Amino acid sequence: MPEPPALLLLGGSTEAAALARVLAARRRWAAVLSLAGRTVRPAAQALPMRVGGFGGAAGLADWLRAHGVRVVVDATHPFAARMGANARAATAACGAALLRLERPAWVAGTGDRWTAVPDLEAAAEALGPAPRRVLLTTGRELEPFARRPWHRYVVRCIEPPAGLPPGAELVLARGPFTPEGERALLRERGVEVLVTKNAGGDATAAKLVAAREAGVAVVMVARPQRPEVETVRDVAAALRWLDRKEALLF
C-alpha cells in the first residue's frame, strides 16, 4: 500500500479512468483506484487498484484510516448514489477531504422530445399502454420493462443482463458511439422511443443527436439525489483542486 500523501479515487466512470491516468503519470499522490467490481473484465487501469465494496460507510472509514488516506475523490458514475453518501459519511468520520468529480447532465435543446422521469419504474410507466418499439440503454436493471411486455424492446448493454423482457432483442456494445451508428440502429430497428439515464458526457451522447434528427421520443431518467459535496465537472478542475489541497496539507 502506498505511503502518504494518500488519495483514494472511487472509480467506475470515464472521468475516473482519465484522472487515474494523469495521477499515475504525475506521481505526486500515492493514489489507489477503487472499483466496485461490477464489470467482469474491467479495462486496464493506470493506478494500483482494489476491487469490491468496503462494507458501507463504516467499512470505508476503516479503510481510509488503515491506509492513511487524506483525500478522497468520488468519481463514481452519476447514478452510483449510495457510494456518494458513503463517501460523504466516511470522510466526515475520519477527517479526510472529499471532492466529487461529476460530468454535467445533458440538457434538452431545440427539437428534442424528452420526457423527464425520476427513476426506471417511472420510465417504464411513461411508455404508456399502447405497444411501442423501444430502445433501452439504461443498463441491466430491466425488471420494470419486463412487467410491460406489450412493448417491443431492443436492449443495449455492455455486458449481458440476467434476463430480458419477453421478445426483447439484445445488442451488446460498449461506447463511444457515433451519430452514424446510432442513426442506423434507430432506423433499422424502427425505434419509436429511446429510454436513457441522464449520464451526461460525450461517449454516449450520439444517440440523443440521432433521436432528435429522427423525431424519436426520449424518456430521460434523472440523476439520483446525492449529498451536498464540493464538486468539479472535469479532470482539469479536479487536478487544480488537488494541487491546492496538496499545498494546504503537505
Residues that bind ligand NAP (CB under 6 A): 10-13, 34-36, 38, 53-56, 59-60, 76-77, 79-83, 86, 139, 197
Question: What gap in Å lies between CA 173 and CA 157, rounded to an integer?
Answer: 6
By beta-carbon proximity to ligand NAP, the closer residue of 17 and 211 is 17
What is the rounded (10 degree) CA torsion for 45, 50, 53, 55? Answer: -150
Nearest distance, CB of residue 79 and ligand NAP, angstroms: 3
Question: What gap in Å lies between CA 241 and CA 38, rounded to an integer?
Answer: 29
Nearest distance, CB of residue 224 and ligand NAP, angstroms: 9
Q: If we measure between CA atoms, which residue out of 103, 26, 98, 77 comes closest to residue 224?
A: 77
The SS3 call for residue 100 is strand
Question: What gap in Å lies between CA 53 and CA 37, rounded to an integer?
Answer: 8
Nearest distance, CB of residue 39 and ligand NAP, angstroms: 8
Question: What gap in Å lies between CA 129 and CA 147, rounded to an integer?
Answer: 12
Nearest distance, CB of residue 233 and ligand NAP, angstroms: 16
By beta-carbon proximity to ligand NAP, the closer residue of 65 and 133 is 65
Nearest distance, CB of residue 219 and ligand NAP, angstroms: 15
By beta-carbon proximity to ligand NAP, the closer residue of 22 and 49 is 49
| 31 strand-pairing partners | 7
> What one-character DSSP code corresponds to residue 127?
T
By beta-carbon proximity to ligand NAP, the closer residue of 61 and 192 is 61
By beta-carbon proximity to ligand NAP, the closer residue of 60 and 238 is 60
